[in-house]
Amino acid sequence: MADALFDPQCRRCPRLATFCESTGERYPGYHAAPVAAFGDAAPRWLIVGLAPGLHGANRTGRPFTGDHAGILLYDTLHALGVSSAAVSVSRDDGLQLTGVRITNAVKCLPPANKPTPAEIRTCNAFLRAELAAHDTVRVVVALGRIAHDAVLDALALPRGKFRFAHAARHALGSDRWLLDSYHCSRYNTQTRRLTPEMFREVLAQARDLSRTH
């Protein structure tokens, strides 16, 4: 592994590596490679998503940038005063985050947006290293059950003790907290499973909690 936190040339999951390469061939100019975390270098809170989207982070090289999944996320972060812009369109658009960082449980685009359990476990080493390196993080926001489980695995905590539920708040020890939210995917937002108000409530709690602990 080139870097404990991130390896831009990682091929530890052959299926994902091959799929990334194939999307690069189909869509010349796409990033089509592992996607690094983005945001504050010394964050107080960390948002963990599932994986890069085909025409989002897989295209732009920045988490939640360039597709529907990032629309609600960056708009909410901007409304909360931690993003310099409400819209994220490209890796070089100048957008900056303050106090918060964004990453994914799986760094490479998975076919049908569904990584296998083995791929999630393999990529967990990067999330584990990221959480260890950023000891300033007081709050982790998990977008969806896969991200929730990945955070627990990265911290060597039992899944059975911390059940995923939207807006659930879990004390992890060592003055760290895990907050759960439904993923801000197109399906969840269009079906109103996740409304802007529901999402903002969770992220506002994360921001505020990160400033008081």
> At how many degrees (to 10) do helices 145-154 and 117-133 cross?
60
118 Cβ contact partners less than 8 Å away, ≥ 6 residues apart: 13
For range 122-146, the mean pLDDT: 97
Span 66-118, pLDDT tens digits: 999 999 999 999 999 999 999 999 999 999 999 999 999 999 999 999 999 99
Distance of CA 63 to the CA centre of its chain: 7
What span, in angstroms and rounded, lies between the C-alpha atoms of 162 and 139? 15
96 Cβ contact partners less than 8 Å away, ≥ 6 residues apart: 83, 84
Kindly state the tokens that stand for 194. Answer: 């996740």
Confidence band, pLDDT 50/70/90 cuts, at residue 1: very low
Span 160-188, pLDDT tens digits: 999 999 999 999 988 899 999 999 999 99
User: pLDDT averaged over the chain?
Assistant: 96
Kindly report the pTM of this predicted structure: 0.96
pLDDT at 114: 96
Span 135-148, pLDDT tens digits: 999 999 999 999 99
For range 40-51, the mean pLDDT: 98
pLDDT at 212: 87
Q: What length does the chain have?
A: 213
pLDDT at 75: 97
Confidence band, pLDDT 50/70/90 cuts, at residue 3: low
Confidence band, pLDDT 50/70/90 cuts, at residue 44: very high
Strands (E), the chain: 38-39, 45-49, 100-104, 139-143, 169-173, 176-181
What span, in angstroms and rounded, lies between the C-alpha atoms of 190 and 101? 26
pLDDT at 2: 43
CATH for the stretch 14-212: 3.40.470.10
